[in-house]
Amino acid sequence: MYRYFLAKIGQSVLLLFGVIVLVFFMVRLTGDPASLMMSRNASPEQMEAFRERMGFNRPVYVQFADFFTGALVGDFGNSLHFKSPALPLVLERLPATVQLAVVGLLIAMFIGIPLGLLGGFQPGSAIDSIGRGLALLGQSIPNFWLALIMILFFAVRLGWFPSFGRDRWDSVIMPAFVLGLPTLGQLVRLTRSAVLEIRSADFIRTAYSKGLEPRVIYAKHVFRNVAIPLVSVIGVQFGYMLGGSIYIESIFAWPGMGQLLEQAIGWRDFPLVQAIAVFTSVVVLALNIFTDLAYAIIDPRIRYGS
């Protein structure tokens, strides 16, 4: 168990190292980071001064060592737009993004799992068709478009929800629903197929043949086994929501990290983009470790396996 987690944490540290390398070289893909970050009509003198200030005129390995040691202590340099350290600006936006992702995940779970369970118990029924249709739609509707359409109908036409911002308690509902819809669909599919598979397993037949009540069978045997695949998917999806809310945050003017990313790209503020990329990756990697932990707690096969 401990060995398993030490190995996982070791892997994550390696991944983090990879992320920092990647993020360092990504702004150098075009060869000249200065021309990437400066406006096109900057004079050669301004460019030279910028290179000097950012240290882009030093050898690459010196720049990398500098960036790497900085990244380890959370120093990504100053944001070009705000002229202040980049990481605190990102951290400031974290609560909004987390709130959006948590509410989105809750919506997806509270609708998706029951629909999947009902569909799995009664395949072919009306509720099963609804669930599967919703799953297919969740997979196929572009979320940036759905966000626009929802604003048009529920905010502009009907006036039920605010169309942007984070000032009211119900501001979160529309963006969270849009963010959660693909996950909702996945949960329906996964829960349904897990129920179908477990229902026909030998141990369920044994439970029936020894005369257990169906209620007990579902509670003790089916649900527990359905929970195992769900945990890992929920973990992965939560990470995806934290890092994938850029469209939704920018459309709903939700003041989270995704909106900051969109703004930073518009400002060509790449130190800030780098900080967002590394920080979000750290959060997602940490989440993966927690998911594995939860997985091992639920599923003894992993705890005791090699």
Partner 1 sequence: MVARETTADSLLDVEQTWADRLAYWGRFWWRDRGGVLGMLMFLVVVFSAIFSPAISPYDPLQQNLRDSKMPPAWYEEGRWDHPFGTDNLGRDIFSRIVYGTRVSLTVGFFGVLIAGMLGLVMGAIAGYIGGRVDSIIMGVVNLVLSLPYLLFVVFIAAVLGRSLINVILIFGITDSPIFARVTRGEVLRLRESGFVESAVSAGATWPRIIFDHILPNLIGPLITLATFEMSRMIFYEAGLGFLGLSVPPTVPSWGNMLAAGRKYLTSSPWIATFPGLAIMFTSLGMNLLGDWLRDVLDPRLRRTRK
Chain residues in the site for partner 1 (CB under 8 A): 11, 14-15, 18-19, 22-23, 26-27, 29-30, 36, 123-124, 136-137, 139-142, 144-146, 148-149, 151-152, 156, 193, 196-197, 200, 239-240, 242-244, 246-247, 250-251, 261-262, 265, 270, 273, 276-277, 280-281, 284-285, 288
Q: Which is nearer to partner 1, 142 or 211 (CB)?
A: 142
Nearest-approach distance from CB 70 to partner 1, in angstroms: 18
3-state secondary structure of 73: coil
Nearest-approach distance from CB 46 to partner 1, in angstroms: 21
Q: CA 84 to CA 154: how far, in whole Å?
A: 38
Residue 20 burial (10 A CB sphere; 0-12, 13-18, 19+): buried
242 and 284 Cβ atoms separated by less than 8 Å: yes
Nearest-approach distance from CB 191 to partner 1, in angstroms: 13
Q: Which is nearer to partner 1, 3 or 210 (CB)?
A: 3
Q: How far is CA 214 from the centre of its chain?
A: 37
Long-range contacts of 221-227 (CB under 8 A, 24+ apart): 222/195, 222/198, 224/298, 225/194, 225/198, 225/201, 226/117, 226/191, 226/194, 226/195, 226/198, 227/298
Nearest-approach distance from CB 243 to partner 1, in angstroms: 2
Q: Which is nearer to partner 1, 140 or 300 (CB)?
A: 140
Q: Which is nearer to partner 1, 165 or 216 (CB)?
A: 165
Q: CA 15 to CA 122: how far, in whole Å?
A: 43
Nearest-approach distance from CB 189 to partner 1, in angstroms: 10
Q: Which is nearer to partner 1, 212 or 294 (CB)?
A: 294
Q: CA 201 to CA 192: how far, in whole Å?
A: 15
Amino acid at 231: V
Q: Which is nearer to partner 1, 1 or 136 (CB)?
A: 136
Helices marked H in the chain — which ranges? 2-26, 33-37, 44-54, 60-72, 86-121, 126-140, 143-150, 173-199, 202-209, 214-216, 223-243, 246-251, 257-266, 270-298, 300-304
Q: Which is nearer to partner 1, 242 or 296 (CB)?
A: 242
Q: Which is nearer to partner 1, 91 or 216 (CB)?
A: 91
111 and 184 Cβ atoms separated by less than 8 Å: yes
Nearest-approach distance from CB 31 to partner 1, in angstroms: 11
Nearest-approach distance from CB 211 to partner 1, in angstroms: 26
For residue 175, give both structure tokens: 């963006």
Nearest-approach distance from CB 148 to partner 1, in angstroms: 5
Q: CA 160 to CA 1: how far, in whole Å?
A: 50
